[in-house]
Every structure is written in C-alpha cells, then in structure tokens.
Structure 1
Amino acid sequence: MAGSLPAGARVTCVDGDFSSVVAPFLARGDLHVRQVPLEDLADAVAAGTDLVAYALVQSATGEVADHAAVTAAATGVGAFTFVDTTQATGWLPTDDLHADVVACHAYKWLNSPRGAAFASFSDRALAELTPHAAGWYSGADPWTSCYGPELHLAADAHRFDVSPAWPAWVGTEAALAFALEHGIDAAYRHDVGLANAFRERLGLEASDSAIVTWPDADGDALAALTAAGIVASGRAGRARVAFHLWNDEDDVDLAAGAVTAVRAVDAR
C-alpha cells in the first residue's frame, strides 16, 4: 500500500502502533504521516486523508480499535483503510471489518509457523493497488504462467500472492484445522474470560481484549512472571500477558499470584 500511494499522500496511523504498520509509510520519505492516539483515530480522519492504517488490536496495550467508526470516517472522505489483524485473528472475530486491505500474520493467535500470512482486498484495492511483489505465484494458475515474457496477474487477490514458504504452510494447515475445530466465538469467550479474571485479581478494569498489559517500567512484574515459569513479555515499558485456548484458571492463579507477590514486596 505504501508503494502505491502518490507522493504527498496523507496517511493517518496510531501513535505507538506496531512498527510494521507505520514504518513502510515513514520510509517513503515523501508521505505526510500523522500519528494519533487510538481513541482519537476516527475523529482524526478528515478531508484530504488518503489512507488510514492501524492494527485492530494494539500489540503494546491490547486495546481493541473501534473499526466501525474508523471505517465510517474513512468512507466519508474516500480514504483507503488498512487493518492489521495479527494480534486479533484467532480469538477476535474479524469478518465484519469492511476494510480495503486486511492483513494477518499467522504466527500469533493462529499458532502457525513463521512465514505464513494472509490478506484480503476490496474491489477498490484490487483496481488501484499495484502488486509490487508480483512474481510467478501471482497468476491465476502459477504453473501455467510461470514464464515470460507477458505479465500474468490473477484477476482476484491472488495477484498479491508471493512465493510461499512451503514448510510454514504445512504447519499452518494443521494450525488452522485446530482453530476451526474450536471456533472464533468460543475462543473469544474463553480467552477474554480468563483475561478479565486476571484483570480482576490485579485490580484492573474489565476489557474486551485477551491481552492484558500494565505499567512495569522496572521490569519487576515481568521478572516475577518469568521466575514462576510463565511466558510473558515486556512491551513499551509495560508487562504483557495473553490468554489463549490452552490456558485455564490455574494459569490465571499462577500469573496473578506472581504479580501480586512482587507488588507486595515493592510496597514494603
């Protein structure tokens, strides 16, 4: 999308979003990139905006964007919309986004090997975006169009396909079967339920996200979680835990106990 924008195009992004959602536009050097807080994103879409790009679920905070409001604002001014669902697809339903481009790396909540990713394109995106990475796999039937001299592009979204990392897709097929077996709605109820149980134990407000983060500038909470055998992470000065299908109430108790224990020590 960054390569298809004309020089001087105006792009609105989220301040603090994952770098991969913002960096391609900044790297162009000739685009006007505005970054605003997530809660202000829809209101920041004004006449003259060419593209709104954001992650549906913020990596650093777990916040969920109001995609309906953003899409309505973008549609009102004729702007493209790009939504990254890497931190969402797998636990949060994403079939009602109505964005021009939706992209998702499968190695997060879809539990796939790194190297598999998905994207969907609106009719407008198909007509106006240039497939800069076009290659042998961009044809409707790659095996009959893998030699020149003509440019062979599929009429549909396959024109944006790149040569697949074969081993990654073998693992992805099995991972998708696992995800479909349980269903996104069930995953949402389970994951968010555990996350809210953990939030309650920490004195945090309930949320609609499976990701929980809180300030941890010194890394004490992350160290305590790690010492307890919990795989957690530190992001932007915050501790971060995420709950998925293989987690249960015992994990909530273990994580909450580790954090509350270190809080008690810090209080002394």
Structure 2
Amino acid sequence: MTASTPRPSPLLEAARAAIRLRYGEQPCAGRAAQSVDAGNAAAWNPVLDTLLAHRSVRAFRPDPLPPHLLPWLVAAAQSAPSSSNLQTWSVVVVEDAGRRQRLAALVGTQRHVEEAPLLLVWLVDLSRLQRVAEAAGRTIEGPQYLDTFLMGAIDAALAAQNALVAAESLGLGSVYIGAMRNRPEEVAAELGLPPQVHAVFGHCIGWPDEARPAYVKPRLAPEAVLSRERYQPAPPEAIAEYDQALQAYFAAQGIAHPAWSTQVLDRLRDPAALKGRHRLVEALHGQGFELR
C-alpha cells in the first residue's frame, strides 16, 4: 500500500473480514469482500456483526446462566413475526440435569444436550388455539390442515432464531438440535406435551468453553442460493468450490470430513439415514395432527 493510498477504515475492514470468514476459502469470499466499499460499509453495525459471526457451539462451560437472561431471550423470541398473529408456538425450558440427560439419550450421542446449562425445546402448539375455541364454545377446523401445522413450524423457527441472535449478542453460544424429531413420541412423553403439540427442535444455550472453541463454518456462495426475478439453479462450479472450501475448513481443525455434496447424499440416502424421522407423519397423527 503506497503512501498516497488511503487505508481502509476499521469499519470497512471489519465488514470485509466478516464476509471472508462467512464464505471461507471460496473465490466468492474475495469477490463479496471487495464488493463492500466505503458506502455500504457505513451500514455495518453490531447486529450484522453478530449475525455474520454465528457459529454452532457444542462445548459449554458448566456455569449456570444468570436468571435475568432468560426473560430477554423469551421477549426476543416473541418479537419475531407471527403469521396472522396466531402465535402458534411455545417453548419448554429444560434446566433440570436429569431431564437434559434423558433427552440427550433420545437425540443420540450429542453430549452438549446434557452439558449445556439451558435447553430450550421449540414447539408447534395448536392446542392453545383449540382451548381458545373450546372456551368460546366454538369449533375450528383450521388446525386439522397441513398449512396450519406448517405455520406453527415456521413461527417456531422465527422465534427461535430471534432467541439465538439475542443469546449471541449477550456473549452466549448455542446450537440447534434437529434430532429432537428422531423419537418424537418419547420426547413428547418426557416433556408432557398434550395433543396437537410437537417438538420441532431443541436449542442448547450456554457460555462457550474457550478451551474447545467453535468456528465460523463457510456457507454456499451467494450465487448458489440467490436468484433474481426467476429461479435459477445453483451453478455446478459453486457446488464444487464449496465442496473444497468445507473440506479445507474441517482439515484446518484436523477433522476428516466428506465433501458437502457427499454429505448431502449420505444424509438423504434412504429412510434409515433419516434416523427415525421417516415416520414423522405417523408420529404427528398420533399426536393429534390430522394434516389434511
């Protein structure tokens, strides 16, 4: 850099660094970082910094969370959008060590479920709507349809993501647990879920263990997920570049990991690869969801 070349502002450097970290060792990382100029770097702020720095934390210190933090997480979750303001979700807070241990056994070998001081289980909750109808002496048919269940799952995901961002803004780490759907009837029994309530996923939250750090995992290039006006499939080269970037990410941590495209094929190979989730419709019917 010559004396006549102005040094990029700290804000610009921070924005470019976050972009490069999010996309890892892919050509798109450099392109995206260079596209951030002084003009749009001025929009960089702590919210964007928190969002782009997200990483899944699976190693937690045993320290309990201060009691004042949970109300903030719930308030943040309830600040998420809700379709027609029906608020078709609920969350169960699990802090009891014995219950966390039993749930950890139901989701496979994921020690962080037992280790994290706080486990949130996010739920589709249509039972609350049914109780409102019963109290009014009315009958409602909407909860019997697939769209209403989907609405609940979307609402729960939006609420959970708000809680995750809030947690990370407070210095906490977290990771979602999709395996809460592997054995849904047993999870429902453990949590005392009534009919028309279903656990969509779990959410471990706690103080990250600095001795076992988590890293920002690269994502697909923007051109693999972004279309303008009409849908365009991901360019094959974007998939190939991401395969290499993800393997480089794991190799830097001394972990042997398959290419992303191989991981996709293995994860969705057959019903057995779904680890119990292939019978989710059957489980939902058993929990009182008709899904017409």
Question: Which TM bucket (shorter chain)?
Answer: under 0.3
Instruction: Report the TM-score, using the length of structure 1 for normalisation.
Output: 0.23
**Higher helix proportion:** 2
Q: Which has the larger radius of gyration?
A: 2
Instruction: Report the TM-score, using the length of structure 2 for normalisation.
Output: 0.22
